[in-house]
Amino acid sequence: MSTRYEDWRGEVSDGLSRLAARTERVVALGLSMGGTLVLDLVSQDSKRVAGAVAINTPVLDRKGILVKMAPLLEHVLPLVPASAAGLARNDIAKPGMNELAYSWVPAKSGNSLVREFPRIRKQLPNLVCPIMVAYSRADHSVPPENSQAILRAIRSKDVTELPLERSYHVATLDYDLELLEERITAFADRVAAKA
């Protein structure tokens, strides 16, 4: 419960550095908060990667009374139900799949992510590397408006938009998995060859 956004960001940054030391080109990919981390790092230094992929990525401020009260509540409630954090339970359309997500979220950890959204949105215009933005139209955890905001903000000349029609939030375990694999592989091959 002591982990904060800076810790996650540091791990992803270190991972990118380790991977870059072992290969000529890196394509960074993230789902949900992982996408936020990728956008954060890549918009600060687009030269670190040949390309980036963001899937169902949150960047917009959440709305509602709980969000407004969250900075106060985090000092009283160390854990909150995932639903209170705006996360739908098992947000997968495909029957029989389970995302194995926590039913409770550490309040201070979650709020540390939410507090970074304005800074990340502000730096998105710096993102100039090739990027693919994939989003589920029926996402119950991260509304597709987040992906539209990303697409409007970035200044890359090489943008691939991929709407996912059959999946919910965890698209990597859902009906559109094969489509994602096919399109991301083609994108990675293309940008890596071009870099």
163: domain CATH number is: 3.40.50.1820
Pairwise CA distance, residues 93 & 115, whole Å: 30
Q: Is residue 120 part of a domain?
A: yes
What is the bridge-based pairing of β-strands 131-136 and 104-106?
Answer: unpaired
Q: Is residue 19 part of a domain?
A: no
Digit-coded pLDDT (tens) for 33-89: 999 999 999 999 988 999 999 999 999 998 877 677 777 777 888 888 888 777 888
- The reply to whether 139 belongs to the active site is yes
pLDDT at residue 193 greater than cutoff 80 = yes
Residue of 88, 96, 89 lying closest to 173 (CA atoms): 96
Q: Which of 32, 112, 141, 147 is catalytic?
A: 32
Question: What pLDDT does residue 69 have?
Answer: 77
Q: Is residue 121 part of a domain?
A: yes
Pairwise CA distance, residues 1 & 6, whole Å: 13
Residue of 194, 104, 183, 118 lying closest to 156 (CA atoms): 194
Q: Which of 40, 139, 174, 176 is catalytic?
A: 139
Question: What pLDDT does residue 86 have?
Answer: 77
Average pLDDT of the segment spanning 170-187 = 98
Q: Is residue 21 part of a domain?
A: no
For the chain, the domain total comes to 1
Q: Is residue 64 part of a domain?
A: yes
Is 150:124 a contact under the CB 8 Å cutoff? yes
pLDDT at residue 1 greater than cutoff 70 = no
- The reply to whether 13 belongs to the active site is no
Conformational region of residue 80, where left means phi above 0, alpha means psi within -120 to 50, and beta covers everything else: beta
Residues 6+ away with beta carbon under 8 Å from 104: 79, 80, 81, 82
Question: What pLDDT does residue 44 have?
Answer: 94
Digit-coded pLDDT (tens) for 149-178: 999 999 999 999 999 999 999 999 999 999
Q: Is residue 100 part of a domain?
A: yes
Q: What is the extent of the structural domain holding 160?
A: 5-13+26-194
Cα torsion 42, 118, 158, 174 to 10°: value is: 90
Q: Is residue 59 part of a domain?
A: yes
Kindly state the percentage of the chain with pLDDT values over 70: 98
Whole-number mean pLDDT of the chain? 93
AA identity, residue 159 = V
- The reply to whether 140 belongs to the active site is no
Question: What pLDDT does residue 105 have?
Answer: 85
Q: Which of 43, 136, 167, 169 is catalytic?
A: 169
